[in-house]
Structure 1
Amino acid sequence: MTFVRDLLVVLALALAWAGPLSPAVAAEPLARVRAQVAQVPLLRGEFRQEKQVAGFRNPLRSSGRFLLARDKGVVWSTLAPFPSETVITQDRILSRQRDGSRRVEVDGRQQPGLRSINAMMFALMSGDTKALTAAFDVKEETGNGKGWRMTLSPRSRQLAQAFTSVRLAGDRYVRDVELREANGDVTRLHFEAMTETPATLTRDEAARFD
């Protein structure tokens, strides 16, 4: 599974057991994080992913680009080792392969909670602490004075059977994500080359959400 699909499984479980997203206010210790993280409607960047599968010596690596549009969803474009694309919107999760074929992974008509999954995905990648506290216990960690770090722990026993923690680190943006699964697998993701401009979707970017 790709990093995005791993996260979707985790988020779907989280929302199933934690209920719908609520306007929960983050605990006061997270005020410093909230003050630093940019809450922007549009963000582009690049990613590098490494997944260490329990029992295997060499990790699985991939890299590519991403696009987050708060009103649209997330486009996750893997360039290496094999081109592919995952588009997450309020209505569906769509996979595009390098041969141009498309496959709907999740249809919103069959999965009413997809809108919340989209919102939580954006919250995780943008460091939105208010949204994250609706499904996770969030704890800020002591840093080196530059940027911030936090650990997300599952609130329910059932969710803890799927993964043990998600760690985020960053500054104005989320830079690093580490997902530790209960089966021992560990996925690490690094974001870079992030930009908020242009402030609107290009015609090509908008078409990718169709």
Structure 2
Amino acid sequence: MMSFVSCAPRLARAALFAGLLLTVGLAAAPADDGLARVQQRVAQVPVLRGQFQQEKQVSGFRNPLRSQGSFLLAREQGVVWTTLKPFPSELVLTRDRIVSRQRDGGTRIEVDGRQQPALRSVNAMMFALMSGDVKALTGTFDVEVESPADRTWRMSLTPKSRALAQAFTSVQLRGDRYVREVEITEASGDRTHLVFSELSETPVRLTAEEAARFD
């Protein structure tokens, strides 16, 4: 993701990005036919690895901010975002905390989600998505789904809560077996576009080095 170096709101946005990616884990019985079709199409995997490219268009700036790197998603642990360009950094999200650090470990910023109500709510939503709690998804967002016959799908999420609506106005997702693209429109007018590629389900277990990155 982008280089996250200071404030909790920016880390909360990162947590939401990760939570949206984790919709690949939908597994509960949805109440909506559209969500049911998405459930049938997406992969149910314990570990997912891949690459990402992020483009953020900031209001008032002509050129977008671009970053790229890799991610590691583990259903039981959380998500590790490793930014390679333009500045190396790493963001680790678990159920109770968010850690931002330089790749060399020189700078480490940790936010305890249990002491930050906004972060706690975002993390709760993230893990609800990861565990397939569709009731939590529809309780947090107004959801519209398009699922044509070619096995692809599109999902539009509009936040219901005032807290999320103050940060985001809408979230668009596109995918097939996996989430392929996410576009987030913030209340400020800024837009973030994420594209995921080179997605892999193997190996199905974390290596020792990967597991250590969640510490």
Name the TM tier (shorter chain): 0.7 to 0.9
| Alpha-carbon RMSD | 3.0
1:169 paired residue among 171, 174, 188? 174
CA deviations 1:73-96 (Å, max 9, x no partner) are 110000011110000112321111
Higher helix share: 2
C-alpha distance 3-56 of structure 1, shift in aligned 2 (>3 A): same
The answer to whether the aligner puts 1:104 opposite 2:114 as a matched pair is no
How far, CA to CA, are the matches of 2:67 and 2:131 in structure 1?
22
Unaligned runs of 5+ in 2: 17-27
Q: Answer whether contact 2:182 2:193 (CA < 8 A) is retained.
A: yes
Q: Answer whether contact 2:41 2:176 (CA < 8 A) is retained.
A: yes
C-alpha distance 198-44 of structure 1, shift in aligned 2 (>3 A): same
Q: Which residue in 1 is equivalent to 2:66?
A: 61
Task: Trace 1:171-186 onto structure 2 (pairs within 5 A).
Answer: 171-186=176-191
How far, CA to CA, are the matches of 1:37 and 1:182 in structure 2?
29
How far, CA to CA, are the matches of 1:7 and 1:33 in structure 2?
28
How far, CA to CA, are the matches of 1:136 and 1:3 in structure 2?
27
The answer to whether the aligner puts 1:48 opposite 2:53 as a matched pair is yes
Question: What is the DSSP-based 3-state SS (H/G/I as helix, E as strand, rest coil) of the residue aligned with 1:133?
Answer: helix
Kindly tell me the number of residue pairs found equivalent between the two proteins.
Answer: 199
Q: Which amino acid letter does the alignment assign opposite residue 153 of structure 2?
A: W
Q: Which residue in 1 is equivalent to 2:91?
A: 86
Q: Answer whether contact 1:24 1:134 (CA < 8 A) is retained.
A: no
The answer to whether the aligner puts 1:209 opposite 2:204 as a matched pair is no
1:76 paired residue among 78, 81, 85? 81
Question: What is the DSSP-based 3-state SS (H/G/I as helix, E as strand, rest coil) of the residue aligned with 1:206?
Answer: helix
How far, CA to CA, are the matches of 2:2 and 2:140 in structure 1?
22
C-alpha distance 120-169 of structure 1, shift in aligned 2 (>3 A): same
Question: What is the DSSP-based 3-state SS (H/G/I as helix, E as strand, rest coil) of the residue aligned with 1:54?
Answer: coil
How far, CA to CA, are the matches of 2:159 and 2:3 in structure 1?
18
Question: What is the DSSP-based 3-state SS (H/G/I as helix, E as strand, rest coil) of the residue aligned with 2:139?
Answer: coil
Unaligned runs of 5+ in 1: 13-22
CA displacement at 1:169 relative to structure 2: 0.4
Q: Which residue in 2 is equivalent to 1:15?
A: none
CA deviations 1:36-92 (Å, max 9, x no partner) are 011211111100000000111100000000001111111000001111000011232
Q: Answer whether contact 2:155 2:172 (CA < 8 A) is retained.
A: yes
What TM-score, normalized by structure 1, do the two folds share?
0.81
C-alpha distance 143-59 of structure 1, shift in aligned 2 (>3 A): farther
CA displacement at 1:34 relative to structure 2: 1.0
